[in-house]
Amino acid sequence: MELTAGRTVVPAREGRAVRVPAGRRVRVVDLEGGQVGDLFAFAADDPRERLSAMHTRSVTSRLFPEVGEAFVTDRRRPILALAGDDSPGSHDMLIAACDPARYAALGVPEHRSCARNLDEALAELGLDVTATPQPVNLFMRIPVEEQGRLRWLPAESRPGDSITFEAVMDCVVAVSACPQDQVGINGGEPTSLAIAVL
């Protein structure tokens, strides 16, 4: 479903994409609480250019930008700026999107995945990407502990918590309501998100 304004519900285990003009804000809302959302962004005029977590970390020197800082593309151009965050503030840019190979390794090969959700959401807009980029994992709690170990903890977001971005360029933003129920990040039962273009 394509929307350039308004609100789009992202059903549990599914993905949606919206076009966001430069200067407009886009908000991702956790409707029921405790749900991770994989966010991807692509330049509207050339979807081969996409938000890059690794380039963003090198620009901000942080694991996740602060309010006012920008996420950049793989061409080091700002694409989204973090405009506001009323959640507990746990987000991740280290973990890859779940994909069919991940679920096959977990013994559930037919499981839905964020990679598949991205492909389906972009197809609704007539777009295609050759590879799944590293997502911005909204509300995902993956602390880095001593010795560099990562922990997979349930999302702390509450019903109605949200994070807001401002489009720095015309872009396409895709969000997957992560279907992961084999580890505890979604509390065992994925739920819905919403995308609001403001």
Residue 3 is predicted with a pLDDT of 41
Distances (CA, A) of 97 to 58, 62, 77, 117: 20, 20, 22, 10
Q: Looking at the DSSP assignment, which residues form a beta bridge with residue 7?
A: 196
pLDDT digits over 93-134, tens only? 999 999 999 999 999 999 999 999 999 999 999 999 999 999
Residue 189: exposed, middle, or buried by beta-carbon count in 10 A (0-12, 13-18, 19+)?
A: exposed
Token pair listed for 48:
């081969």
The sign one gets for the Cα dihedral 61, 62, 67, 70 is positive
The CA R_g of the chain, rounded to the nearest whole Å, is: 15
Residue 188 is predicted with a pLDDT of 85
Q: Looking at the DSSP assignment, which residues form a beta bridge with residue 171?
A: 20, 43
Number of residues assigned to the chain: 198
Q: Where are the beta strands (DSSP E) in 103-170?
A: 136-138, 162-167
Please report which confidence band the pLDDT of residue 5 belongs to, taking 50, 70 and 90 as the band edges. Answer: low
Q: How far is Cα 105 from Cα 48, in angstroms, rounded to an integer? A: 29
pTM of the model: 0.95
Q: How far is Cα 130 from Cα 122, in angstroms, rounded to an integer? A: 12
Q: How far is Cα 161 from Cα 131, in angstroms, rounded to an integer? A: 30
C-alpha 140: how far from chain center: 10
C-alpha 52: how far from chain center: 12
Residue 23 is predicted with a pLDDT of 98
